[in-house]
Structure 1
């Protein structure tokens, strides 16, 4: 392993230095020290940042991600059942987003005098209220 300063980590990872400092404060990454005023990291930090990014993309919070690995270890604690459950949740969210996008397309193309006069839009509004009250 070799050491990389914070500017290089930011350049190679796409994360701003302020984000890197925040992640360090949260215990998600660890610096190896400083060279002058600049934080230094071992090159394994890039893998760690990629894992953080993937976790966020998968819908995990930073607290969830922090619980998956220790700042001083490179191993992960991933429950396959939890991963499957999260995949199911993401698919459900994707279906809901697709349905919402379809609705927006319909409302944009609807020939009713106003959106509130569109029968399909009214039915969906009622469905939203019913779903939220459950």
Structure 2
């Protein structure tokens, strides 16, 4: 394949291990880009495969598409992401991941004190309602997730 010819959408989907619909979704979200050849067929640069690998890894880390899009905007559109790019992105995400890990460890360590009733206004619920802040909004299940 000559770089100027680009990769077809089917070839990118196959090599990246995603569906064509996923590629279209990523493109609609501005995470990747393509162009149209003379036959009006969508084509991708070879570097899109590495961009998709970054996206998939970030998704596995639990990052939102908005967070991923913000990170992808920092990469030059005209070249393949490099090891240095990845190092910069991964160091940016490290703090977020550590905060999630800390939160999960706290949840794990306090889980035996929770009966999972969903009440969310019990004074003693340290997990979901510290200091009984939900009681200010009324009795019962005020909220499940915010």
Tell me which interval the TM-score lies in, with the shorter structure as reference length.
0.5 to 0.7
Give the distance between the partners of 2:103 and 2:8, measured in 1 at CA.
Answer: 38
1:89 aligned residue: 99
TM-score (norm 2): 0.61
Residue 69 (structure 1) shift:
2.3
TM-score (norm 1): 0.66
Residue 5 (structure 1) shift:
0.2
Q: Return the structure number with greater relative CO, CA threshold 8 A, min gap 6.
A: 1
Quick check: 70-79 or 54-63, which moved more?
A: 70-79
Q: Does 1:133 align with 2:129?
A: yes
Instruction: Indicate the SS of the match to 1:40.
Output: strand
Higher helix share: 1
Check 1:34–1:21 CA distance in 2 against 1; reply closer, same or farther (3 A cut): farther
Deviation string 1:37-94 (CA, Å, 9 cap, x unpaired) is 53110110000000001111112111111111237244546383x4231231342365
Q: Is the 8 A contact 1:58 1:86 kept in 2?
A: no
Instruction: Indicate the SS of the match to 1:29.
Output: coil
Give the distance between the partners of 1:87 and 1:127, measured in 2 at CA.
Answer: 28
Give the distance between the partners of 2:38 and 2:45, measured in 1 at CA.
Answer: 13
Any stretches of 5+ residues in structure 2 without a counterpart?
131-146
The root-mean-square deviation of aligned C-alpha atoms, in Å, is 3.2
Instruction: Indicate the SS of the match to 2:32.
Output: coil
Residue 124 (structure 1) shift:
3.1
Any stretches of 5+ residues in structure 1 without a counterpart?
104-119
Q: Does 1:60 align with 2:36?
A: no
